[in-house]
Amino acid sequence: MTNTTTQNRQILVIGSNGKTGRRVLQRLNDRGVPATGATFSGNPKFDWNDAATWDNVLNDITAVYISYYPDLAIPGAVKSIELFTKLAVKKSVQKLVLLSGRGEEEAQQCEKVVMGAGVDFTIVQASWFCQNFSEGNFLEPILAGHVALPAGNIGEPFVDADDIADVAVAALTEEGHSNKLYEVTGPRLLTFKDAIAEIAKATGRTINYEQVSIEEYAAVLADYGLPKEVIWLVTYLFTEVLDGRNQFVADGVEQALGRKATDFSDYVKKAAATGVWG
C-alpha cells in the first residue's frame, strides 16, 4: 500500500470485469494491495438485482469501488445504491468510491446517498469513456468502416478509463481524497464525428460517420436484440445527457493526481498500437 493507514485493508472492486473495474483491480494487484473483484459471473456471485448476493462479498472488506451496471441512470439504481451502502456500513466498510456520470440526475441522487452514508467517500464523476470506441458498442461499426450515431455538433470531453482507474486507486489507497467529488474529463471537447475522424487518421482507414435520428438508432438496436432497458439508457444518454449540459472540460484528474488528463489523441495512439481497430 502507499500509506500506512491502509495497510490492513481488503478492497472490493465491484464490476471487476468492466472497463474501469478491471483496471482498478489490476492496479491494486500490481501494487500488492489486498483486493478482490466482484462480478455477476464470479464466485461468490454479485448481482445488483439480487441483494442476497451482496453480503458474502462484503466480508472482511474495508473499502469498496462501486461501479453500477449498466448505469446509475437506470430506474432502481438509487434504491440499490441506498441498500448496498447501508449494508456496507453495517459490515464495517470504511471507504466508498463511487463511479458516477456527469449530467445524470439519477446518478447525482446516488452520489448523495453515498455522501450521506456516514463513512469516508470519494465520487468520481466521469464523462463518456474513450474506451467506448475500442472496448464498447462503437467498436463493431468502426471495424465495419461506418459509424451511425444520433450525435451532432455537441462536444464531449472523452475521458480515458486509465485516468479514471488512477483516480479511483488514489482515492482507495492514499490520504487526501476523502469526502471529495472529482469531475473527470479529457482536456478538450470533440464531437463524435471528430473522434471517429481521429481514429480513421491514426489507423489509415476510411471510417465514415453518419448522424442519424434517435428513432432510427433505437430501431437498429432493437433489431440487434438489445434489451429494452439498454435501448432506453442509450436513448437517454444521447438525448438528455448529450444535450450540451456537459460541453465543458473539468479538472478532476489534475486535482486528484497532480497531472493533466490524457488527451483523446494519446488514447487513440495507444489503442491503435494494440491492433484493436484492425
What was the pLDDT predicted at 44? 84
The domain defined by 4-128+159-186+248-261 folds into Rossmann fold (3.40.50)
User: Measuring CA to CA, which residue among 121, 46, 166 is closest to residue 112?
Assistant: 121
* Residue 11: pLDDT band with limits 50, 70, 90: very high
The Cα 202–Cα 196 span in angstroms is: 10
The lowest-confidence range among 85-99, 111-125, 150-164, 223-237 is 223-237
Q: Is the pLDDT of residue 8 over 90?
A: no
| 197 has a pLDDT exceeding 60 | yes
User: In the chain, pLDDT over 90 holds for what percent of residues?
Assistant: 94
Mean pLDDT (the chain, rounded)? 95
Average pLDDT over residues 40-57: 95
Q: Label residue 4 by pLDDT band (50, 70, 90).
A: very low
Q: So what's the pLDDT on residue 54?
A: 98
Domain boundaries of the chain, sorted by first residue: 4-128+159-186+248-261
Secondary structure of the chain in HEC code, one letter for each residue:
CCCHHHCCCCEEEECCCCCCHHHHHHHHHHCCCCEEEECCCCCCCCECCEHHHHHHHCCCCCEEEECCCCCCCCCCHHHHHHHHHHHHHHCCCCEEEEEEECCCHHHHHHHHHHHCCCCEEEEEEECCEHHHHCCCCCHHHHHHCEEEECCCCCCECCECHHHHHHHHHHHHHCCCCCCEEEEECCCCCECHHHHHHHHHHHHCCCCEEEECCHHHHHHHHHHCCCCHHHHHHHHHHHHHHCCCCCCCCCCHHHHHHCCCCCCHHHHHHHHHHCCCCC
**pLDDT at residue number 267:** 98
Residue 5 has pLDDT above 70, yes or no: no
Predicted confidence at residue 155, as pLDDT, reads 98
pLDDT surpassing 60 at residue 232: yes
Q: What is the pLDDT of residues 162-196, one digit of tens each?
A: 999 999 999 999 999 999 999 999 999 999 999 99
Q: Does the structure show a pLDDT above 90 at 127? A: yes
Q: Report the percentage of the chain scoring pLDDT > 70.
A: 97
Supply the pTM of this predicted model: 0.95
**In this model, does residue 7 exceed pLDDT 80?**
no
